[in-house]
Amino acid sequence: MVNLRPRFSPVPAASARLPREHAPGASFPDLDPAWSRLVTAKTDDGARTFHVLDTGPALAARGITPTGTILAVHGNPTWSYLWRNVIAGSLERARSGDAWRVIAPDQLDMGFSDRLSHPVPPAPDAPSYRRLSQRLGDLDALMDALDVDTGSRLVTLGHDWGGIISLGWAVRQRGQVDAAITLNTAVHHPTEDQVPAALRAAMAPAVLPAATLASEGFLTVTLGLAENALSPEVREAYRAPYTTRNGRGGIGGFVADIPAETSHVSRPALDEVASGLRDWNKPTLLLWGPKDPVFQDRYLADLQSRVPHADLHRFEGTGHMLAEDRDLSTPIFTWLDDQFGAGATRSRLRSPAPAGDVLGLHERLTELARTERRQDPAVVDMTAEPEAWSSAEDAATGDRALSWAELDAQVDALAAGLSATGVRPGDRVSLLVQPGASLTVILYACLRLGAVAVVADAGLGVRGMTRAVRAARPDWVIGALPGLTLARSLGWPGKRISTQRLSARRAGLLGTVASVDALLDRHEGAAPDQVDLPAAEDPAAILFTSGSTGPAKGVMYTHGRLGALVALLIEQFDIRPGASLIAGFAPFALLGPAIGATSVTPDMSVTRPATLTAQAVADAALAGEATMFFGSPAALRNVVATAPALSALQRRGLSGITLVLSAGAPVHPDLLNAVQEIFPHAEIHTPYGMTEGLLQADIERQQVLDAVATDQSGVCVGTPVAGVRFALAPLDGLGRPSEELQEPGEAVGVLGEIVVSAAHLKAGYDRLWQTERASRRDTKDGLIWHRTNDIGHFDAEHRLWIEGRLQHVLTTPSGPLGPGSVETPVDALEEVARSAAVPVGPQGTQAVVVIVEPEPEPGRSLRAGRSPVAEISFAARVREAAGEVPVAAVLVLDELPTDVRHNSKIDRTGLAAWAEKVLAGEKVKAP
């Protein structure tokens, strides 16, 4: 027979060389030749020469003593070129005296270090391949050979297999290593699990030599994993050491050394690294690209289980080539400064005192169940099927109404059942359940157990929900059928529990392990007595932002911070026993039992607030004898629009409402006046807040009208509520907030970013260390300040006026401008439904363009012909409304792109790009 398998010759050894000696005219973008050096070290198998990028000589030439040393280790099939931007960042920071020496070696058989001789094709037991244990020894030898100050800080940095090696070396040298940083990597792989498909193919014995040695296949695929295609020059720089079969010997060797099987020669070394990390107590930073097809989130979860104190930042949208996709220099050196520099005092920061007595949410519920109100309704769910109710008046007696005693008993029973099923304190539980009685019981059972509730709004859409759930990586998913079906089909993580009993067949299809209904029956009368009550500092919930200004962020709340929020709501709105609220705004639907108010869920789609009708609100008011109504601006607009169809009985139900709150975005005075007609006996408030702090300032309708009469820019959202402190970071000419904060009384009329400090603010962003770090401003008074990303000003009465978002600032020749300063007066025009003021041109000299969505009216046109450019007389009225702000152009769109839940979240960035093209004469589709 003819042997058709290709024949290979052994790969010979080759000596190390400098990159500039690789080939005449070779280009290595952003790599300074002065960083390169050759270092000979005595490894376990003899003297070997490494190519090393090292900033030590450059720092010494400047007379700078490093703060510490970073040992950066690349993986396969890259080389030390991977770390060039971190090296450049370290030298840039050295100019200000904050100097870290960076040592980035090419591992043996890789980059421009010594090549070894070994057989081809590679075999797992071939001793001439560099094994994991040998590579750990190589770092020992290299660091011995380099002139490293052993008295300064030492930090490891790794990626891919360099992550395993650098972490393993840190564990081995724990007495000298002070901290560890790693990008995507894995330190453990269960032998019963398959290696990720993207890597499994390359590991196949029949494929490995062809993919790694005979061709550049493995290298090409890896370089293609960058979020944006690498430039040809950068791609060629990565290829430079690997253009020949001899040069690619190490690539094949690295793949062959993957210890996926228990019997693999490198498995003991991998197990040693994995187990050693469980005792690693030094500062650790994990920087992760979640789209990596090889080092997937399961490996991140394993790392976190071994190093639970590690800081983590997930860079959404990125994957394996994270160092090419994002600037890592800034987070790395900021984190190091926090650990070892001036920022190391951060742990001593504090928040202002809360507005009232703080109790856990589950504790408040238990207290109410022990009072004389124990048989009063606690939850009334109007979202049940219509046939469940005989009439709105007797809805409170239906199956979906729970008294305080019943609610407390069900919470205890379900907590006991979840505990028996395996839910533990600290476990993350994703709740895919619509607001109502069932969700209330499930949420408070999780709080009682100390499990962390993960709440992502279905309004994020499938992609947004998937990103959010995978970012939070829940241990459990509790959901109704639609949510569980989605979780199953998209492979969301977590063991699944259904809200209702399922047939054996359906439970098998969905992969559920229990149902809420069955757990309630099985554990009726029980309580989780063996589970300690959670502490104030324990995580309680992760609430996701709307995602309208980027990927939705998980906002972490502790039990203490939620308790402080509840205390504030009770104090601010004088909530007393017997109060009853209609929750048309999801966050408050969950807080109702904690504030001691009967919580009535109206018949609506919570993901689309505009589906809430006046009739639904009235029916809920009658069913729960409601005294309060919480709704978003979008919900209020539809309530006003549907009010003419109210019956006399329904109007009487609404007349019992004494407090209306609209949260989520500023509300126009005209809408407030219309709402007042529907709720004639109510005080109407428009609190200011955000997911990161649900209540920060408050203002009542008449106060809004009084403020509008002062003719200031933006929307007035009132004064701070109890326990809240505001400050301002003034903007410079390019719209950048100052590092110095000013008190409201010091900054009257100054445009700046609003910062806030309060006991009920978020504890942090979940698994987004860099975002959390960037969102905080810390001052000499020791307070933790949150950057809201909102811009505005304070007036002489310390009232706050919101003028837009920081990313939407217009930097005109006369200074920075908030879009609200133009949009507020333009929105007041009769013909205008909404408007967006956007910038066109370079920063600092931007022109103001106003894009208008007209009020729908048959026969009316605001356009000049078929163009989006406004008709001349209308454009003149817009310019007149804008006052002293020079408006360069007025455009008209039938509908502005926006998040339907928040008028304030118009896509101004997209509109700015569209306007620039329109004004340049391009024919473009409306956004």
- pLDDT tens digits along 408-423: 999 999 999 999 999 9
* Whole-number Å distance between alpha carbons of 66 and 371: 65
pLDDT for 390: 31
Region for residue 580 given its phi and psi (left: phi exceeds 0; alpha: psi -120 to 50; beta: otherwise) = beta
- pLDDT tens digits along 187-226: 998 877 888 877 887 888 878 888 898 899 999 999 999 9
Residue 11 binned pLDDT confidence (cut-offs 50, 70, 90): low
- pLDDT tens digits along 738-773: 989 999 999 999 999 999 999 999 999 999 999 999
Q: What is the mean pLDDT of the chain?
A: 89
Residue 138 burial (CB count, 10 A): 24
pLDDT for 193: 81
Order across the sheet with 377-381: list the strands: 401-403, 377-381, 598-601, 580-584, 628-631, 659-662, 683-685
- pLDDT tens digits along 681-724: 999 999 999 999 989 999 999 999 999 899 898 889 999 999 99
Helix (H) or strand (E) holding 707: helix 701-708
pLDDT for 6: 36
- pLDDT tens digits along 553-587: 999 999 999 999 999 999 999 998 889 999 876 66
Say how many CA atoms lie within 13 Å of 648 toward its Cβ. 0
Give the torsion through C-alpha atoms of 712, 718, 719, 722, to 10 deg. -170
In whole angstroms, how far apart are CA 457 and each of 96, 717, 718, 877? 44, 25, 28, 40
DSSP string of 337-357?
Answer: HHHHSGGGGGGG-B-PPPSS-
Region for residue 223 given its phi and psi (left: phi exceeds 0; alpha: psi -120 to 50; beta: otherwise) = alpha
Residue 335: is its pLDDT beyond 80?
yes
C-beta of residue 813 within 8 angstroms of C-beta of residue 843: no
Residue 866: is its pLDDT beyond 90?
no
- pLDDT tens digits along 382-400: 875 433 333 333 333 334 6
Two tokens, residue 210: 């062809």
Share of the chain above pLDDT 70, in %: 92
pLDDT for 167: 98
C-beta of residue 340 within 8 angstroms of C-beta of residue 332: no
All domains of the chain in start order, with CATH: 32-344 (3.40.50.1820), 402-534 (3.40.50.980), 701-760+768-807 (2.30.38.10), 810-919 (3.30.300.30)
Residue 246 binned pLDDT confidence (cut-offs 50, 70, 90): confident
